[in-house]
Amino acid sequence: MRRVLTYGTFDLLHIGHLNILRRARMYGDHLTVAISTDEFNLNAKSKVCVIPYADRKALVENLKCVDVVIPERDWEQKTRDVIERNIDVFVMGDDWKGKFDFLKQYCEVVYLPRTENISSTDLKHTIRNRGTLVQSVSVAQ
């Protein structure tokens, strides 16, 4: 069995996330997804998630292309995860290109092109601005 591993926050799950997960799964027979915990996001990535970890986990692990979800609690766990889970291929979007080349001594490392014009950050801004827009339109009437 050829095992694939990828990491992410997967907040406000969108087509860019689904695309990378589906493509990652095609590099093997089993896909493990390490999802950043709320604490890791806050403390290490200065990100505040809209969707809590438990819900992000439930959404991702119920995707057909995902076999198992594990928590990502720190930056250092990748080597341990690759070794302990007998990972053959590590896949990330190319916004991370080169950042995980240190794993090449343990497994294949693949960076895939990101899906354009979509991100959790943009979605948050759109939702926030739309709320303002609706409010201003209703006030104007």
Residues that bind ligand C2G (CB under 6 A): 7-10, 16-17, 20, 36, 72, 92-93, 95, 114-115, 118-120
| Closest distance to ligand C2G from the beta carbon of 138 (Å) | 32
Quick check: helix, strand or coil at residue 44?
helix
| Closest distance to ligand C2G from the beta carbon of 125 (Å) | 14
**Cβ-contact 93, 9 below 8 angstroms:** no
In terms of CB distance, is 43 or 135 closer to ligand C2G? 43
Confirm whether 104 is a catalytic residue. no
Confirm whether 45 is a catalytic residue. yes
Q: Which stretch of DSSP H or E encloses residue 134?
A: helix 120-140
| Closest distance to ligand C2G from the beta carbon of 16 (Å) | 3
Burial tier of 37 (Cβ tally within 10 Å: 0-12, 13-18, 19+): buried
Report the chain's C-alpha Rg in angstroms: 17
Q: Which residues are catalytic?
A: 45, 47
